[in-house]
Chain A
Amino acid sequence: MLTISDQFPLFKEYSADKVLTYLDSAATAQKPLSVIQAEEQYYRQSNANPNRGIYELDLRATEIHETARQKVANFIGAEFPEEIIFTQNTTEAFNLLAYSYGMPFLKEGNTILITVMEHHSNLIPWQRVAKATGAKLVYLYPDENGHFSDEELQSKICDGVKLVSVHHVSNVMGTLSPIAKITELAHQIGAVVALDSAQSIPHMPINVKELDVDFIAFSGHKMYGPMGIGVLYGKKELLEKMPPFMSGGDMIDFVSEQESTYAPLPRKFESGTRNVGAAAGLSAAIDYMQDLGYDKITAHEEELMVYAMNRLTKLPFITIYGTKNPKERFGVISFNVNEVHPHDTATILGNDEVAIRAGHHCAQPLMRFLHLTACCRLSFGVYNTTKDIDTLVESLKTVRRIMGFES
């Protein structure tokens, strides 16, 4: 078990007298000191608007931005750094994909296939593409444990499907999607596959070559990096044929009054002043994760998941949603205290400085599929320990009593 919370300043600086039990890393992870320092150092020593000036300072800013791109490319096994497009976050990455791939290349008679478990960021953009193009939006449905049957995949990944966009790890169920099978079936019929890795990249190594997906989206802030930077990876030949998303400064080659030619990859998709400070932080976050090592991260989180599942399943007043097999869950457990609304549970836990998420988790279709209006979710990162789970469990034991139940 790792004990590294002292590498994360927030846990010390949150309060002079209160101890925070942070179990909401699936919403955003806390940042190690090295990430905070990298962003600060950028603004202290290297801040300029990249790709523009020809003076030393500007070259530094440009280099930091491009080094971050190369680092991300290496981190996920991309062949070319220009296959890495920096966005604000996963949501912007999916909007880029929807507007620069979905809108121009899909039409009536085509099908967009997603799952009912998608986060709204991998759902609403496709609703809009479907409405605008006349393409059909079709859903894959899992069993109650969050698993998809071969039959469901085979029957729905069929002629007419042009794009499949699915989660890698579900932000509610915590399960891994059968991405190898999905990619194999989709590529057989010439469909492209996009993967939402926002909830997987903090927990497991990602290799775009091995996954053989066409696009991947993730956020820096869930993998110990700063807010305000995310990534869309795309296969070069696909990105090259896609028109720009946002247009304006920095994404052009030549502009006349009526026409423009666009910059080559990746700048075609990166208009306006970029978040270089966040790119510096993301670089540091990747260094941090690599220094720690995914083998240690996964071993630590598996141990935590086994421990948390074991303790929670022993509480008779808790209902867990999705699989109870800790080996099939990554980072998150969704649950409710019986007969208590999740917002009341989260308020009571919050009073004990236990931070969990309560609500629909930006997955309203999944909530309806599970016949829920909302649920609680605990999620962890590398800094959590079994002590955090113990604190959570003790606080959970008080919930029903405070809500006026006998026990």
Chain B
Amino acid sequence: MNLNNIYTEIITEHSRSKHNRHHIENPTEVTNGINPSCGDELTLEIRVKDDIIEDASFVGDGCAISMASASIMIDLIKGKPVEEARELAKLFMDMIHGKVTDDEALEPLEDAIALKDISHMPARVKCAVLSWHTLEETQKKQLIPG
């Protein structure tokens, strides 16, 4: 395994970036996610209006992979319809679990493709999917338009 494929510039920069790591105004959904194996926690905040994710952010503490994955996810889903975010989350999970490997099929994930090689690191899969799993949990609660 080449660590440079994991700790790429995209990942290390996103992991330290604060641009999505704050609270938002009037969130319509606030969901906690936890990775019990390491104690990493994050809270996902989303404001939905007319089925569009108008704003989103997260707060939390965790490893570079979980923090970068969350930051990239927020960039990706902000301004998108709820349904599209749901599809992206499914595609991301399929990528991490090695079910979808074709680069063209993964294109909608943009920067999140940087996490593709996590599929070869079983010990870190939970870190990569923490924020996406929290997004799925949010959607299970059935987003109420704000």
Contact = CB atoms under 8 A, between A and B. Distances in A.
B39 A374 contact: yes
B38 A358 contact: yes
Contacts of B127: 343
Nearest to B12: A404
Contacts of A404: 7, 9, 12-13, 16
A226 B87 CA distance: 47
Contact of B3 (A343, A351, A360): A351
B107 interface: no
Interface in A291-311: none
Contact of A367 (B3, B12, B39, B65): B39
Contacts of A374: 38-40
A147 interface: no
A347 interface: yes
Interface residues of A, number: 18
Interface in A301-349: 340-344, 347-348
A360 B38 contact: yes
Nearest to B4: A402
B65 A344 contact: yes
A154 interface: no
B62 interface: yes
A373 B1 contact: no
B24 interface: no
Contacts, number: 55
A348 B63 contact: no
Contact of B7 (A364, A373, A403): A403
A351 B39 CA distance: 23
Contact of A359 (B12, B38, B41, B61): B38
Among B15, B37, B38, find the residue whose CB has the most chain A CB atoms closer than 10 A. B38
Nearest to B1: A351
Contacts of B62: 341, 373
Interface string A354-366: 0000111000100
B16 A343 contact: no
Nearest to B3: A351
Contacts of B124: 343, 347
Contacts of B9: 404
Nearest to A350: B123
B124 to A, nearest CB: 6
B6 interface: yes
A46 B10 CA distance: 59
Contacts of B12: 403-404
11 contacts: A341-B62, A343-B127, A344-B65, A347-B3, A360-B38, A364-B39, A373-B38, A373-B39, A402-B4, A403-B64, A404-B12
Interface of B: 1, 3-4, 6-7, 9, 12-13, 15-16, 37-41, 61-65, 67, 121, 123-124, 127
Given A347-B3, A359-B37, A360-B38, 6 more contacts: A340-B64, A341-B67, A343-B127, A344-B65, A404-B7, A404-B12
